[in-house]
Amino acid sequence: MAFFAVAVGVFLLIKGGDWLLHSAVSLSLRFSIPKIVIGMTVVSFATSAPELIVSIQSAMSGHPDLALGNVVGSNIANLGLVLAITIMISPIDVTSSFYKTDWPMMMLASLLFYFFIVVDNKLVAYEGAILFVFLLFFLVYLIKYQKEAVLDEAPEDDEVLSMSKTMTYFLLGAFSLWLGSETLIKGAVSLAEDLGVSERIISVSIISVGTSIPELSASVVAIINKEKAISLGNLIGSNIFNILAVMGITSMIHPIELQDTGFLNNDIWWMLGISFLILPLVFFPKGSRLGWIDGLVLMVLYIFFIFPLFV
């Protein structure tokens, strides 16, 4: 039953995020907001909604390790699992924006997050505010100076929905996100107790993979349709949002205090290591491209990360 609750929670989060995305894009188009702005603000926040809601609910209900593990595990899964599968199927050409903005910002956000946590084993309101301000500066920079570096993540068949349909999608999305997060957290706590493992292990493995399913499905569909709807920049952008938006907003609402030391001793080092490794992999074995060899390296590392958690 616990595993079923987790599965139902993940499904509701995915559907809720999708419905919220449709309503958000429709509202943006209705008010003639440029697509560049939609892609980097409305769409990015909507696609980060599942992680955000899970983290806020986890922190407020006394399960901070679920909040931290959800974000760190998702960042590891985005690169070690989603990106790995994507580039093993089809290579990705790396643009100059990777060196100029994406990778440096991801590493800066990751290191800042690590510093805040390692100092006193918690993330408090003013630290969350600093993370969120960094995000705002990053968005302004992208929209103003690096428009060519931003890929619009909104669907190609964008349409302005009627207000009644827009509000229906919005309310359904919001309700599904709330119900999904409640179900997922309760199921995750029960599953941890049933398996005799910590909440941190459940969050960095099962929950993080579950909340990365939308990115994975989008990647595979894009490859099948021979479209470049997904890119290295999109996945790195997701990691930046997970830290600066999800952790920033969550800790401003409720302080996140670390409980399981395995998070600092193991998980966060895997996140930092895989994030850093993307840079040299871009140059090996062929410059400015990530191919199947790079994907294999990332996948093997992800297996080495996940497997010992349950042994």
Q: Domain limits of the chain?
A: 2-310
Give the pLDDT score at 256. 94
**Residue 42 DSSP code:** I
Tokens at 45, concatenated: 């926040």
Give the pLDDT score at 225. 66
Cβ neighbours around 34 below 10 Å, total: 11
Per-residue pLDDT tens digits for 59-71: 999 999 999 999 9
Per-residue pLDDT tens digits for 287-304: 788 999 999 999 999 999
Rounded mean pLDDT, 124-135:
96
Rounded mean pLDDT, 182-187:
89
- Report the C-alpha gap between 110 and 143 in whole angstroms: 22
**Is the Cβ–Cβ distance between 57 and 181 less than 8 Å?**
yes
Residue 233, pLDDT > 80, answer: no
Per-residue pLDDT tens digits for 78-121: 999 999 998 998 888 887 878 888 899 999 999 999 999 999 99
Tell me the pLDDT band of 41, cut-offs 50, 70 and 90.
Answer: low
Tell me the pLDDT band of 204, cut-offs 50, 70 and 90.
Answer: very high
What rounded mean pLDDT belongs to the chain?
86
CATH architecture of 2-310: Up-down Bundle (1.20)
Rounded mean pLDDT, 158-179:
86
**Is the Cβ–Cβ distance between 215 and 43 less than 8 Å?**
no
CA 42 to the chain's CA centroid: 15
Per-residue pLDDT tens digits for 258-283: 999 899 999 999 999 999 999 999 98
Give the pLDDT score at 227. 57
Higher pLDDT, 156 or 74: 74
Tell me the pLDDT band of 43, cut-offs 50, 70 and 90.
Answer: low
CA distances from 125 to 28, 63, 122, 131, 183 (A): 30, 17, 10, 10, 27
Q: Report phi then psi at 162, rounded to 5.
A: -65, 155
CA 300 to the chain's CA centroid: 21
